[in-house]
């Protein structure tokens, strides 16, 4: 890439070789055009740069000073090109990544560990949000390169694509001495009349809608006594406020202090996606998405994508 003039490159090559013939071979030109380049360069600089005899070529003091400075300039320029190419390929640079709090239980630590092992030169700028809508707004505003979020219908913009990075069932969280603690699987019908700690719609639209649809299909109206976000919901369950439906990975938050049981109903599955720009203006985002989604079966492409 011609970051430097032909004359400067010719000068540096001759200064390295101290031989016009060998320098011409390196530059893939004949010796007379090379000599002309050097003479024009000396005229522009305003002083002789080489002392030429029939037997040798050596640098003048001015030539030596210019050669030292030019060598540093070229080294810096080459480093600059390498850095730019590494950023363009996703090997270095920065990645602004947003994520929901529920992504931290399983997907996020696995993905970050694998990514940092392979791309340690990329600086991760992490931003946590409890609300996937806020993450989506950050993406639209260009303040995030990618986001791990719970996707729903309002996230519809052709500039972005979504990749599935996690899929897990909902489980019932209950106190260790709850009447259903000894049951292998729990049906929603078993929760009729039970005090229920729910996801707040304002901050957890995805889970609120998913669990609401489950109860609606079974014809059961939950007796909601409190609405909040994880892990506050689990704290309320531990305090005996009620039971809650949460992603299976949330069981790691209260090991041994709560009981978690799977549901008998089908369709009680949660999904986590990574959203990123289709143009992949930041190559690191596409690489991270590929690592995060590795091993997860991708659904057919939706028109919403």
Together in a domain, 141 and 72: no
Is the same domain home to 60 and 107? no
Q: Are residues 260 and 119 in the same domain?
A: yes
Q: Are 156 and 78 members of one domain? A: no
Q: What is the 3-state composition of the chain as percent helix, strand, coil, each rounded to the nearest 5?
A: 45, 25, 35
20 domain residue, yes or no = yes
pLDDT at 303: 44
Name the pLDDT band for 185 (thresholds 50, 70, 90): very high
pLDDT given at position 299? 59
Q: Is residue 125 part of a domain?
A: yes
Same domain, 112 and 75: no
Is residue 301 pLDDT above 80, yes or no?
Answer: no
Is residue 147 domain-shared with residue 176, that is, in the same domain?
A: yes
**Beta partners for 96?**
125
Closest listed residue to residue 163, CA positions, set 270, 271, 275, 269: 275
What would the pLDDT profile of 113-138 be if each residue is shown by its tens digit? 999 999 999 999 999 987 898 999 99
Q: In whole angstroms, what is the distance from residue 285 CA to residue 176 CA? A: 42
Please tell me the distance from the alpha carbon of residue 296 to that of residue 155, in angstroms, as a whole number: 21
Question: What's the CA gap between 62 and 52, in Å, rounded?
Answer: 14
User: Which pLDDT belongs to residue 1?
Assistant: 44
266 and 243, same structural domain? Answer: yes
Q: Which has more pLDDT, 215 or 300? A: 215
Q: Say whether pLDDT at 180 is over 80.
A: yes
Position 305 in a domain? no
Q: Name the more confident of 193 and 54.
A: 193
Number of domains in the chain: 2
**Residue 172 pLDDT > 90, yes or no?**
yes
Boundary (domain end) residue, out of 89, 114, 134: 89
Average pLDDT value for residue range 22-37: 92
Residues 80 and 199 in one domain: no
Q: Are 22 and 57 a contacting pair, CB within 8 Å? A: no
Better-scored residue on pLDDT, 55 or 142: 142
Q: Are 127 and 65 contained in the same domain?
A: no
Residue 85 has a pLDDT of: 84
Establish if 16 belongs to a structural domain. Answer: yes
Let me know: does 20 contact 14? Beta carbons within 8 Å: yes
Residues belonging to the chain: 305
Q: What is the pLDDT of residue 141?
A: 94
Q: What region, left, alpha or beta, does residue 213 occupy, with left being phi > 0 and alpha being psi -120 to 50 degrees?
A: alpha
How many CB atoms are closer than 10 A to CB 290? 13
Closest CA to 127 of 116, 136, 114: 136
Q: Distance between CA 16 and CA 257 in Å, rounded?
A: 73
Residue 73 placed within a domain? yes
Q: Are residues 62 and 159 in the same domain?
A: no
**Sign for the pseudo-dihedral over CA of 131, 134, 140, 141:** negative
Q: The domain that contains 19 carries what CATH number?
A: 1.10.10.10
Nearest to 292 by CA among 100, 148, 175, 151: 148
Can you give the residue range of the structural domain that contains 74?
6-89
Q: Which of 85-89, 224-228, 263-267 has the lowest mean pLDDT?
A: 85-89
Q: Is residue 99 part of a domain?
A: yes
Mean model confidence pLDDT for the chain: 89
Q: Is residue 1 part of a domain?
A: no
Task: Write down the pLDDT at residue 2.
Answer: 57
Give the model confidence (pLDDT) of 220-243 as tens digits.
999 999 999 888 999 999 999 999
113, 46: one domain: no
The pLDDT value recorded for residue 230 is: 87
55, 74, 89: which is the final residue of a domain?
89
* Residue 143 and residue 180 share a domain: yes
pLDDT-derived band at 105, boundaries 50, 70, 90: confident
Angle at 228 between CA 224 and CA 233, to 5 degrees: 85
Residues above pLDDT 70, as percent of the chain: 96
What's the pLDDT at 304?
43
Q: Which tokens sit at 147?
A: 């986001």
Instruction: Identify whether 110 is part of a domain.
Output: yes
* Residues ≥6 apart with Cβ < 8 Å to 36: none
Compute the average pLDDT of residues 181-204.
92
Return d(Cα 206, Cα 129) in angstroms, integer.
14
Q: Does the pLDDT value for residue 17 go beyond 70?
A: yes
What is the domain-level CATH number for residue 197?
3.40.190.290
CA 266 to chain centre: 32
The CA distances from residue 90 to 27, 77, 83, 283, in Å, are: 32, 20, 10, 5
Q: Which of 57, 89, 121 is the last residue of a domain?
A: 89
Structure tokens at 187: 């049906």
Kindly give the residue spans of alpha helices, DSSP state H, lying in the chain: 6-17, 20-27, 31-45, 61-89, 107-118, 132-140, 205-218, 232-238, 283-292
Confidence of residue 302 (pLDDT cuts 50, 70, 90): very low
Q: Tell whether the model's pLDDT for residue 65 goes beyond 90.
A: yes
Res. 186: pLDDT tops 50: yes
pLDDT at res. 254: 75
């Amino acid at each position: 890439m011609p970051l430097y003039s032909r004359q400067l490159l010719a000068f540096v090559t001759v200064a390295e070789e101290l031989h016009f013939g060998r320098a011409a071979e390196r530059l893939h030109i004949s010796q007379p055009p090379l000599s002309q380049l050097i003479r024009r360069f000396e005229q522009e600089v305003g002083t002789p740069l080489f002392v030429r005899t029939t037997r040798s070529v050596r640098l003048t003091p001015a030539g030596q000073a210019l050669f030292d400075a030019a060598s540093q300039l070229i080294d810096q320029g080459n480093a600059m090109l390498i850095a730019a190419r590494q950023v363009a390929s996703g090997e270095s640079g920065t990645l602004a990544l947003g994520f929901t709090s529920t992504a931290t239980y399983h997907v996020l630590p696995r993905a970050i560990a694998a990514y940092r092992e392979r791309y340690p030169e990329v600086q991760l700028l992490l931003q946590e949000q409890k609300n996937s809508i806020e993450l989506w707004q950050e993406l639209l505003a260009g303040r995030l390169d990618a986001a791990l979020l719970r996707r729903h219908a309002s996230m519809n913009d052709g500039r972005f694509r979504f990749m599935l990075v996690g899929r897990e069932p909902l489980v019932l969280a209950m106190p260790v001495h709850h009447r259903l603690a000894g049951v292998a699987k729990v049906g929603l019908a078993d929760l009729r009349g039970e005090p229920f700690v729910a996801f707040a719609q304002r901050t957890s639209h995805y889970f609120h809608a998913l669990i609401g649809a489950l109860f609606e299909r079974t014809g059961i109206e939950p007796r909601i006594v409190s609405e909040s976000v994880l892990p506050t919901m689990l704290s309320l369950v531990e305090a005996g406020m009620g039971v809650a439906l949460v992603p299976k990975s949330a069981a790691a938050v209260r090991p041994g202090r709560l009981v978690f049981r799977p549901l008998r109903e089908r369709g009680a599955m949660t999904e986590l996606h990574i959203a990123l720009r289709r143009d992949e203006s930041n190559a690191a985002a596409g690489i991270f998405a590929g690592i995060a989604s590795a091993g997860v079966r991708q659904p057919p492409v939706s028109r919403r994508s």
